[in-house]
Structure formats: structure tokens, C-alpha cells
């Protein structure tokens, strides 16, 4: 039979009507004379009452948790006193109850939710996905994708699919390889992103492209990484950075408005990479709370406190972060965080009635008034210091700032969502291990024209890229750039990172050719869709917004993938397992 | 600068206005005093006139084909006499012409289109995609996807992504393998379809799912195959076959209406597999033209014409197809087609003024009146015969029917699109090589309940599946089924195809487990999106509707994939190339 509707669609107008519902038995209570079933479908649960003597009763006696049933009967209001909010106001008095399928006893109680070990949940993912919280995440995800595609379709973007079996792309992570049978000894790579292909589509004149694109990186997994992940990937021609940011702001406002009924600001706040690092010690600062660093470098130039004075003399910075009252134990914990992030320690002092006490207070007597006025620190509060080479100093204090957020739930007082652009990333960065110049985003990112003069000089670290990240609640949820469209600039960029002509041609030859056949100015962005949906839904991990995720060994515990294959399959591919 | 709009947006209201356009130089004509540029963007082309003495003139002298330019000036109507249809009515008199990028001379003329070798087009795909015909295909494809997602979102379907790095799925073609680095010696498989995962989502209670899903099959390639291809994949719970067909009809009507402004019938015609084979010799008959076979088996029972009488005596069939007047050469060609499709020859005769002549006419004197009246054959027309075991006889004549279509362009007289369902496929089929029973669709297809009695008997070939294909203009553009939701039926199905419990568990163990935890009745379909878009756009190959396709050796000639990889990459994966 056809159901009257989903459970959530039950309204007062159905009262007294004959209603058919279908779903799973969430719970059964047998009161001897009466049987109550809590019936669940994807949209909600409602109580079903089965009276003795009804044709439904014998069947109802047999049902167990997670049986699939169809019930038919009269919908009524529950007796006063038992009546609850929403769907709890109704009950269905079943005249007919049909078992559509039986169910073995589930290996865990769905209600137990996240208290069940994640391994068990992943092994029986199909049961885990029956939890209403999980369904809500996927409903939200589906709505996000629908809102994105609807908006971009209207804005003239073409949804184009790019190859999955392709060649190494320029992100520089490790590729997943796919052996070719028709070309034995050769391999495809799964795409790390559609980067080159979307730029080729701009060269083809498609003008506006988007794709919900699956991407693959064979990295060692962390809790918020998956071997494959999903990007909203888009690219536009004949535009500059402001056009791209503006379009993305309108798109995100549309998504948040239509999916969550949340109003994002217009325009989004923008920080440069330098500002973000200098004030928050992160290129993806969580701005739901302020806690910006105060610069006190000038106060310690030639000061008697040698640790800080030396840092300043060496061209470094001294930054201070105002924090709530901290116990000694909390300070130790924060110092551990600072050290994990490259600091040698965490200098601190406490504001007391007379001035400062504890920590380094006796070394900063001379700076007392300035510290008080610049930080506005209140009695009982703590000041935390970081001194040294600028980037190291701000990064360590940035990590402390996030640890403080988690310790005091600082973000809870702020808005539910804070979104911002971080712009003007450096074009080039030194590899921390080799000291060699490398690209910060990817080698096709365009520099600021005004900074091109620094290419090939000692100062090429000063070149700012026309690159931007989208930061939501401290997560990088998107990143993009204006691309290089001038082959001469592309050549200088390859030179700057020490790629010989031959190396560049070997990796990207076909793309460098393409650039010379009439490339329009263009740029774009990729959103990390999994992470965006995770933040929007309030989930704690991207695994909660991916239907069938891998664990942190890259394994699908349900399907048991990866797995061994037959010798004949390898032989077809011209491959053998190494026996070491 | 910002363009005023795409070229196709030019209207009379722009006349006399200052207009900015951006695009590619499709052609330049230098008349000495005047330079004309045909400017192309994705939407169309328009003439730009540059007058000597204008600031634009010096730049215009430099531009060559495929340069990227921005032009600004006054839009006007072309002089009467030169004025053409549509955009040909306008010209832009450029005050400013800026070269945004130069272009090398393209290796082929874009206008030459499909006369250029496909290898060259694929190698320079970014130029090939500049051809307006190509852009139109991708615009259509994007619109189809937009129409599909809009409809399904509104109907409560959730867009859910299923894994790309997974385990063998049940289609039975060869998998693409992906070696795992974290689990050396083990492999993922790229999905041949999301079949099991979408059924798992139904077991999870998601109720309505869809996905535009990339699928992979490592087969030897034919002209209309690609190693990866795209399905619109959908699945529904608590439904029967009619519900699924009805939803798909509404969806397709919406797609054709909104994208092509074409009205499809309601409901779609339905044929059973038996009817399709018996009348048209194909399970994907092209019904834009009728040319159904006429059955004349009864006429030849015990007849003197031994070839036919023997076929009938052996339980076979005699079918006749009415054809236009044919030359001897055409008959030979059709006979070749019949033989390629398993027939021993192609019996024929011609209707002439007195009766029949030529071919087998002298052997069928006794049947003449019946042949005339049953076929309605007119003077000059030909009758073509096929006799033998039913399936072989109808398949050979079906191939002849399609060859006739191509010879006489029979489909041109019919509707632009003819869509139909083919239903009631056999559940089981014998492997042509081993003679063993195997599944026709996949082993999770539900049989007709009335036919379950034949499982395990000699007559199990009679079991009809609740399976259906969507046939458009003779192409199978979709296929699906109601799925087995009863674990006991699933077991009988595995037994019927000779899968031992152990074999079934090894391949699909996790899925068989899942079936026992409360599986709702469910079913679905997958559309071959590439093929659907190919037929809708009138393209001659799916490569015309895939942005960066592989050639028939599985190679991407532009990106040069697949390619060799470094020894260290293989070592990381625990693999070595075989040296034979």
C-alpha cells in the first residue's frame, strides 16, 4: 500500500482519518492488554497503539526492534496528560499491522549513539545511519548541495565533469595510482583536484564552470582527513579577485539562508594573511571570539629582560595574549601547547591589585604601565607572552589562543558562525626541511602584479599571491586564487621554485602548451564540502557527514576494503607483489 | 573591465550604448582601411569593426586568430544589405581594443570541426571544446543534470555520495584496482556502480536516494564506451515497480520539457522483453519507426519448403520483415548483417505485379495469399525472412531491421524521440560459453513472486525479473529493478546461479548480513547519463559529451595518461612490474 505520508507530515487534519505509515520498530512495549510501538521513519517517530482483539495484535506480538512494518488505522490525539510536543501529540490506533521484513537483534542500541565504539558503528554503518542525528546530517548535506547547484545554475555556471583516471595534478601530495591493463606497466592517477582541467575549461572558453568533485590524496590519515573527499570546485573567466569573492559571498549567503535560515554578513570580513597571523597566530583564525594579540615588541627593544630583548634585537616580535584567570595547572597545560608548537616556553604574569604578580612579573616592571594600558587586562586575569622570530612567535601563541578557547568555551559566547576571507597569502614559502623555495598554494597561482618585481631576487618571499582562503569558525573551508594566464609569468614562477624547463614540461607540459593558445584571465576556488557541512551541522568529525567513511587506517570496516586480490588480476595488470 | 554581457545577450536596447565585450578572435579581416574581427564567446559571435585612426586600430593590427581580447565601443545595427539574422544584425564599433592574451596559431582550424582527425582533436581538446557545437553539448548536459537534481530534490530524494575506493561490486565486469599504501598488498576497487551502497542506504532508512555517480569498468573499449562513465543513480523504498516507473516518467518528462521543450508521452509505452524481442529482435528496439516482424511460423508447419519447415519442426520460428524495394547489392549487404548476427543466410522475395518474384518466391507459392495479407506488402517492396530457434531468428532479423533503418533513414520520418520501457526481463540466462545459469541484470534483482516456484527447477529460465530498461531511440539509456529484500529469496537466487554459500559470503557477505537487519521493500534505476545526453544532443559518440574523454586504448591523449611512474612509488605500494 501507499503510505499517507512521512511521519513528520502528520498534522491535525489527519485526525480521524485512515492513515497508512511505514517504517521501523524503534521500540515495542507489551503491556499484555495493549501493545505500543514507536514507529520510526527517516523523518520522525510516532506512537502506534495496537488493541487486543484487533487483527493487528497477533502480528504486533511477533515484532521486535528494527522490524520493518506497515501499519494502518485511525490517527488520533493522545489522551490528555500523555500528550507531548510535536509528533508526541498523536498516536495511530492500528487496525492492520503487516510485517514487511524481520530483523536480527542489532549489535548495538541505536539510542546509545556515539557511546558505541566507532569501529562497531562503522562496521554496521547501515544501522548507525538509522540514528536520526545521522540522517539529519545527510539531509543537511543534500540541501547544501542543492542550494549550491541551484544558485550556480542560475548564475550561468556549467556543471562539467572532469576525468577521474588522469595524471598527477599539481597539489604535490601523494597520488593514488590505478594500474592500466590496456597499457601494461603504466598507471593513471586519481585526481587530487580538478585544478588543471578546470583551468583548461577556461582556456576552452566555458567561462563559468563548477563541479561537485571527488578528490583523492594518499596521505597518512588524521581524524579530519579521508583518502577521498569532496570539493565544490568552481572557476570563472574575465574576472579579478573581487569578482570571485563577491560571487562566493552571495553563494554562501544563499546556502546559509536557505538551508539554516542563518544570515551571513555582507560583505564578509577580510583579513590579510599578515593580519591573521599577526593578530591571531593562524591563517584560519577562529573569530567567533576576539582575543587578538597585542604587539609589545617596541616595549622590549633594549630592555633589561634579556629573553625578550634578544628576540627583538634579532628582528623578532613580542606578542601578548590576554587570558582569563588561570590556575597553575592550566598555565602548565598551555605551556605544553606552546612548546608543541615550537616555543621554548610560555612567559606569563597575573594582574593583581597592585600591578603584576607571578611568572615574569619582576622582569617587566619598566613596561608595566604600557602593558596595562595596551592590553586592558583586569585584576585576576593573565597575560601570556610569546617572543621570537615573528612567524614562530605568533604561531605558538595562536595555538595557545585555540587551547584557551577550548578550555573556557570562548567561542560559545560569540555568533554561531563567523566567516571571513584571509587574503594576500605569500606566493612562495621556504620548505622547512630543505630551505628551498616552493609554492604556498600551487604553482598556477597569480602573484600581485606589483610584487612580480621580486621574482628571482632575495626578496621573493615578499611576493603576495592573489590567493584567498575562506575561514569558518576556525576551519579552512575553501581556498582559491586568481590564476596565472600569462605564459611568461608562469615561466618566472617555475624558475622561482627551481623547476627547470624540463621538469616543468615533464609534469605539466600539456598545460603549459594550452596556456599559449589564448588563455583568458581567470580564477576560482574550491570549497571543502565535507568540512563545510561538518561545521554547518555541528558534527565533531567529517566521518559524521560521509555516508561510508574510511577509518584512520584507510579501511572500510563494513565492506572490508581494501582487500586481497587474485593473482590473475595482478597478472592482467603486469604487476606482482613485492616479497621483501 | 566588466563586460556588458555575453554576446548572445546583445539586444536592440544596447544600440547606441557603450558596450564592453570579451572573447576570442574567431577571424580577422584586414581591409587596409578597416579591420573586422569576428569576436566569439561561449554564447555566440558578433562582428567588431575597427576604424583607422581609432586607438584600437594599432592593437587590432596585431591580433591573430584565437587571441583573447576586450573591446569597447558603440553597438549599432549593421548597414542594411549586410544585416543578417540574429546576432548578424549587430556590430560593435570599437573605440578600444585590448589584447588580454596572445595565442599561437592553432594546430587545426576550429571551423573544420569533425573533419579533423579525432586524435588531433583529443590532443588539443581545449581548442576542440571552443567549437560552438561542443559547447552546446556541454550546456545541454549541464541543464539535464540541473533539471534532474531540481526535480529529485523537490521529490524528497537525498543526494548522497557513496565510496569511490571500495570493494568489488556485483556487475561482474573487470574492476579497476587501486593499490593501498597503508595496507600494502591490498587493493581497493573503483565502483562499477553504487549498487550495494544504494541498497544499504535503503536499509538505513534513507528512503529516497540519488547521486550523479562516476562508475568504472575495465573493459576492452568500443566506440561508445569509456573506462569511466556517469550514472544518474536512484533508489526508493516502500515501492513497487509501477511507482518507480511512474517517478522516472515524471522525471524524464520534466527533463525533456525544461531542457529541450519536448513533450514526452504520458504514460511511456511499455513492452515486455518478449514482445520487444519477438516484434523487433532487440531488447532496446528503435521505435521511431514501426517495421515490426510478422510471425508466419504457422504457415510453414509441415510446408514443402524444407528450410523453414525444419525450423518450425524443431520448435523454432519464422519471422518476416517488410522492407522497401531493394537492389541486389542492398540485399547482399543485409544478408551480411544477418550472418554477422548468427543467421545462415537471409531469405527474401519481391512483391511484383503478379505475386512474388526472386529469392525464395518459388518455394512459398502455397503461402502467397497469407503472406500478402499478413504483411500488406506493396508492389516493388521486399519481404525478408528469418527462420530458426526463436532468439537467434529474431536477433538476426533485428539487426537487419536496424541496417534497413540506416540504409533508408527510416527513423527520420518518425518522432525526434521515442522512449519506452522494456519490462519483464528474464531473471536468469545461460552463459553462452559455459551453458551455466547466470543472472541477467545482477543477483539482487527481484523475481516476479508468481515465478519464484521455478527456482531450482529445469524451468528456471522462465522466471521473469521485476527488471526494466529505459529505451530511447534504440539506445538503452537506463535500467533498474525491484530488489530482493527477503534474505530467503536472496539465498535461492544465489543457489540458482550456482553460488555456494561460501562464495556468496566472500563476495557479498557484509551485504547479506545487512539484508537481515530490517530491509524495506525497495528498488531503483540507473540512467546512463553520457548516453542519454548523447541522444538528446544528437551527438554521434559519447566522446562528444564528455569533456576530456579517453580514446579507444583508454588513453587521454592530451594529459598523456596513463603513464609510467617512478620505482619509488611502486615500492611504497609494495608492488613491482612483472618482467616476462
Using alpha carbons, select from B578, B209, B471, B238 the residue that is nearest to residue A69.
Answer: B238
Report how many helices (DSSP H) and strands (DSSP E) chain B contains, helices first: 15, 23
Q: Test B562 with A135 for CB contact under 8 angstroms.
A: no
**For B219, how many CA atoms within 13 A lie in the half-sphere containing its CB?**
15
pLDDT digits (tens, 9 = 90+) for A449-508: 999 999 999 899 999 999 999 999 999 999 999 999 999 999 999 999 988 888 888 888
| Mean pLDDT across A284-293 | 97
Nearest to A486 among B101, B150, B161 (CB): B101
| Closest A-chain CA to B576 | A576
Q: What dihedral angle (degrees, nearest 10) is formed by the CA atoms of B297, B298, B303, B309?
A: 40
Phi, psi dihedral angles at B92 (to 5 degrees): -105, 125
pLDDT at residue A172, as a whole number: 75
* Binding-site annotation, residues of A: 171, 217-219, 226, 441, 476, 483, 528-531
With 0-12 CB in 10 A as exposed, 13-18 as middle and 19+ as buried, what is A520? buried
pLDDT at residue A388, as a whole number: 96
Residue B224 in grid coordinates:
561508445
* Range A28-35, long-range pairs (CB < 8 A, 24+ positions): A28/A60, A28/A63, A28/A64, A28/A65, A30/A61, A35/A60, A35/A61
Phi, psi dihedral angles at A237 (to 5 degrees): -110, 160
pLDDT at residue A1, as a whole number: 85
The residue written with cell numbers 544465489 in the block is B494
- Range in A169-183, A338-352, A551-565, B263-277 the model is least confident about: A169-183
| Mean pLDDT across A383-402 | 97
The residues near B529 (Cβ < 8 Å, ≥ 6 apart) are B141, B144, B145, B212, B229, B230, B231, B232
State whether residue A453 is helix, strand or coil. helix
Beta bridge partners of A421: A270, A470
pLDDT: which is higher, B225 or A561: A561
pLDDT at residue A439, as a whole number: 85
Domains along chain A with CATH numbers? 7-101 (2.40.50.140), 134-271+420-546 (3.30.930.10), 289-413 (3.30.1360.30)
pLDDT digits (tens, 9 = 90+) for A88-125: 999 999 999 999 999 999 999 988 877 889 999 999 99
Average pLDDT, chain A: 95
Using alpha carbons, select from B55, B62, B56 the residue that is nearest to residue B102.
Answer: B62
Chain A residues with beta carbon closer than 8 angstroms to that of B156: 6
ipTM: 0.95
pLDDT at A228 over 90: yes
DSSP string, B476-545: EEEEEEEBP--HHHHHHHHHHTT--HHHHHHHHHHHHHHHTBTPPPEEEEEEEHHHHHHHHHT-SSGGGG
- Under a CB-based contact definition with an 8 Å cutoff, are residues B532 and B545 in contact? no
Chain B residues with beta carbon closer than 8 angstroms to that of A100: 238, 485, 520-521
Q: Choosing among A5, A44, A177, A580, which should be mutated to test the B contact, i.e. which has the most B CBs within 10 A?
A: A177
Q: Test B153 with A164 for CB contact under 8 angstroms.
A: no
Q: Test B163 with A548 for CB contact under 8 angstroms.
A: yes
Order of strands, sheet of A294-295, starting from the edge strand that comes earlier in the sequence: A294-295, A317-323, A382-388, A347-351, A356-357
Chain B residues with beta carbon closer than 8 angstroms to that of A203: 126
Q: Test B518 with A205 for CB contact under 8 angstroms.
A: no
- Phi-psi group of B380: left, alpha or beta (phi > 0 → left; psi -120 to 50 → alpha; rest → beta): left
* Range A279-283, long-range pairs (CB < 8 A, 24+ positions): A280/A394, A280/A398, A280/A401, A281/A319, A281/A386, A281/A394, A281/A395, A281/A396, A281/A397, A281/A398, A281/A399, A281/A400, A281/A401, A282/A395, A282/A398, A282/A401, A282/A402, A282/A474, A283/A422, A283/A425, A283/A469, A283/A476
Chain B residues with beta carbon closer than 8 angstroms to that of A230: 161
pLDDT at residue B580, as a whole number: 62
pLDDT at residue B170, as a whole number: 63
Q: Is the dihedral of CA B539, B544, B550, B553 positive or negative?
A: positive
Nearest to B167 among A103, A160, A561 (CB): A561
> In Å, how far is A205's CA from the nearest CA of chain B?
6
d(CA A454, CA A448): 11
d(CA A71, CA A548): 31
d(CA B438, CA B421): 23
A with B: how many residue pairs have Cβ under 8 Å apart?
A: 333
State whether residue B321 is helix, strand or coil. strand
Give kind and range of the element (H or E) at residue A536. helix A529-537
Chain B residues with beta carbon closer than 8 angstroms to that of A214: 161, 164, 214
Helix residue spans in B388-464 (DSSP H): 390-408
Residue A156 in grid coordinates:
550561468
**Secondary structure in 3-state letters for B162-175:** CCCCECCCCCCCCC
Q: What are the Cα distances from residue A443, in Å, to A212, A508, B318?
A: 23, 10, 69
Q: What dihedral angle (degrees, nearest 10) is formed by the CA atoms of A167, A169, A173, A178?
A: -20
| Closest B-chain CA to A159 | B142
- Under a CB-based contact definition with an 8 Å cutoff, are residues B303 and B404 in contact? no
- Under a CB-based contact definition with an 8 Å cutoff, are residues B474 and B283 in contact? no
The residues near B409 (Cβ < 8 Å, ≥ 6 apart) are none
* Binding-site annotation, residues of B for L-aspartate: 171, 217, 441, 483
The residues near B136 (Cβ < 8 Å, ≥ 6 apart) are B537
- The mean pLDDT values, 10 residues at a time, for chain B of 580 residues are 96 96 96 94 97 92 97 96 93 96 95 85 96 97 98 98 87 89 94 96 98 94 84 98 98 98 98 98 97 97 95 97 96 97 95 91 94 96 97 97 97 96 95 85 92 92 96 97 96 90 86 96 98 97 96 92 91 87
Q: Test A167 with B559 for CB contact under 8 angstroms.
A: yes
Phi, psi dihedral angles at B7 (to 5 degrees): -60, -40
DSSP string, B341-404: TT-S--EEEEE-SSSEESTTGGG-GGGHHHHHHHH-PPTT-EEEEEEESHHHHHHHHHHHHHHH
How many other C-beta atoms lie within 10 A of the C-beta of residue A309? 16
| Mean pLDDT across A426-454 | 90
Using alpha carbons, select from A96, A220, A572, A538 the residue that is nearest to residue B174.
Answer: A572
> In Å, how far is A427's CA from the nearest CA of chain B?
22
Q: Choosing among B205, B211, B560, which should be mutated to test the A contact, i.e. which has the most A CBs within 10 A?
A: B205
State whether residue B466 is helix, strand or coil. coil
Query: What b-and-e string marks burial along A354-370, b requiring 16 or more CB atoms within 10 Å of the CB?
Result: eebeebbbebbeebeee
> In Å, how far is A481's CA from the nearest CA of chain B?
18
| Closest A-chain CA to B177 | A178
How many other C-beta atoms lie within 10 A of the C-beta of residue B8? 14
Q: What are the Cα distances from residue B340, in Å, to B37, B282, B346, B359?
A: 53, 15, 11, 20
**For B49, how many CA atoms within 13 A lie in the half-sphere containing its CB?**
15
With 0-12 CB in 10 A as exposed, 13-18 as middle and 19+ as buried, what is A209? buried
Chain A residues with beta carbon closer than 8 angstroms to that of B565: 177, 186-187
Q: Test B206 with A3 for CB contact under 8 angstroms.
A: no
Q: Test A135 with B23 for CB contact under 8 angstroms.
A: no
Confidence of residue A171 (pLDDT cuts 50, 70, 90): low
d(CA A576, CA A178): 14
- Under a CB-based contact definition with an 8 Å cutoff, are residues B341 and B397 in contact? no
d(CA A305, CA A363): 6
pLDDT at residue B171, as a whole number: 61
pLDDT at A532 over 90: yes
Amino acid at each position: 500500500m501507499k503510505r499517507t505520508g512521512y511521519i513528520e507530515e502528520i498534522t491535525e487534519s489527519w485526525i480521524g482519518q485512515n492513515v497508512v505509515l511505514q517504517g521501523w520498530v524503534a521500540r515495542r512495549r507489551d503491556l499484555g492488554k495493549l501493545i505500543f510501538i514507536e514507529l520510526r521513519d527517516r523523518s520522525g517517530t510516532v506512537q502506534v497503539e495496537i488493541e487486543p482483539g484487533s487483527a493487528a495484535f497477533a502480528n504486533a506480538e511477533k515484532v521486535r526492534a528494527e522490524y520493518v512494518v506497515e501499519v494502518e488505522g485511525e490517527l488520533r490525539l493522545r489522551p490528555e496528560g500523555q500528550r507531548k510536543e510535536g509528533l508526541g501529540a498523536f498516536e495511530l490506533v492500528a487496525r492492520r499491522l503487516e510485517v514487511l521484513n524481520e530483523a536480527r537483534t542489532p549489535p548495538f542500541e541505536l539510542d546509545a549513539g556515539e557511546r558505541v565504539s566507532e569501529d562497531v558503528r562503522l562496521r554496521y554503518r547501515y544501522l548507525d545511519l538509522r540514528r536520526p542525528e545521522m540522517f539529519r546530517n545527510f539531509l543537511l548535506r543534500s540541501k547544501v548541495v542543492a542550494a549550491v547547484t541551484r544558485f550556480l545554475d542560475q548564475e550561468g555556471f556549467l556543471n562539467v565533469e572532469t576525468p577521474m583516471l588522469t595524471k598527477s595534478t599539481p597539489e604535490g601530495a601523494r597520488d593514488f595510482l590505478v594500474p592500466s591493463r590496456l597499457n601494461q606497466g603504466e598507471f593513471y592517477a586519481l585526481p587530487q583536484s580538478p585544478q588543471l582541467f578546470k583551468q583548461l575549461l577556461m582556456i576552452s572558453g566555458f567561462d563559468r564552470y563548477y563541479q561537485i568533485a571527488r578528490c583523492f590524496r594518499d596521505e597518512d590519515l588524521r581524524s579530519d582527513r579521508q583518502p577521498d573527499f569532496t570539493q565544490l570546485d568552481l572557476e570563472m573567466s574575465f574576472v579579478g579577485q573581487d569578482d570571485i569573492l563577491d560571487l562566493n559571498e552571495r553563494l554562501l549567503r544563499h546556502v546559509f539562508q536557505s538551508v539554516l535560515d542563518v544570515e551571513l554578513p555582507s560583505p564578509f570580513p577580510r583579513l590579510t594573511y599578515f593580519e591573521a597571523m599577526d593578530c591571531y597566530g593562524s591563517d584560519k583564525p577562529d573569530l567567533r571570539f576576539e582575543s587578538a594579540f597585542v604587539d609589545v615588541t617596541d616595549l622590549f627593544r633594549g630592555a633589561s629582560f634579556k629573553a625578550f630583548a634578544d628576540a627583538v634585537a634579532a628582528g623578532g616580535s613580542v606578542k601578548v595574549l590576554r587570558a582569563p584567570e588561570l590556575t597553575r595547572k592550566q598555565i602548565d597545560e598551555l605551556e605544553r601547547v606552546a612548546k608543541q608548537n615550537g616555543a621554548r616556553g610560555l612567559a606569563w604574569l597575573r594582574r593583581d591589585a597592585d600591578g603584576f604578580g607571578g611568572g615574569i612579573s619582576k622582569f617587566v616592571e619598566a613596561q608595566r604601565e604600557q602593558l596595562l594600558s595596551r592590553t586592558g587586562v583586569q585584576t585576576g586575569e593573565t597575560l601570556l607572552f610569546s617572543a621570537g622570530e615573528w612567524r614562530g612567535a605568533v604561531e605558538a601563541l595562536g595555538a595557545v589562543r585555540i587551547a584557551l578557547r577550548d578550555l573556557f568555551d570562548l567561542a560559545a559566547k560569540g555568533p554561531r558562525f563567523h566567516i571571513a576571507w584571509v587574503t594576500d597569502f605569500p606566493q612562495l614559502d621556504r620548505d622547512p626541511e630543505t630551505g628551498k623555495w616552493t609554492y604556498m598554494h600551487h604553482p598556477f597561482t597569480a602573484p600581485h602584479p606589483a610584487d612580480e618585481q621580486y621574482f628571482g631576487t632575495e626578496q621573493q618571499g615578499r611576493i603576495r599571491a592573489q590567493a584567498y582562503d575562506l575561514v569558518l569558525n576556525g576551519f579552512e573551508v575553501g581556498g582559491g586564487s586568481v590564476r596565472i594566464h600569462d605564459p611568461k609569468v608562469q615561466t618566472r614562477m617555475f624558475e622561482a621554485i627551481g623547476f627547470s624547463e624540463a621538469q616543468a614540461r615533464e609534469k605539466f607540459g600539456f598545460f603549459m602548451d594550452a596556456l599559449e593558445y589564448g588563455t583568458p584571465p581567470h580564477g576560482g576556488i574550491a570549497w571543502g564540502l565535507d568540512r563545510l557541512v561538518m561545521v554547518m551541522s555541528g558534527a565533531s568529525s567529517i566521518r559524521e557527514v560521509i555516508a561510508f567513511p574510511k577509518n584512520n587506517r584507510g579501511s572500510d570496516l563494513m565492506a572490508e576494503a581494501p582487500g586481497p586480490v587474485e593473482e590473475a588480476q595482478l597478472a592482467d595488470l603486469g604487476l606482482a607483489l613485492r616479497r621483501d
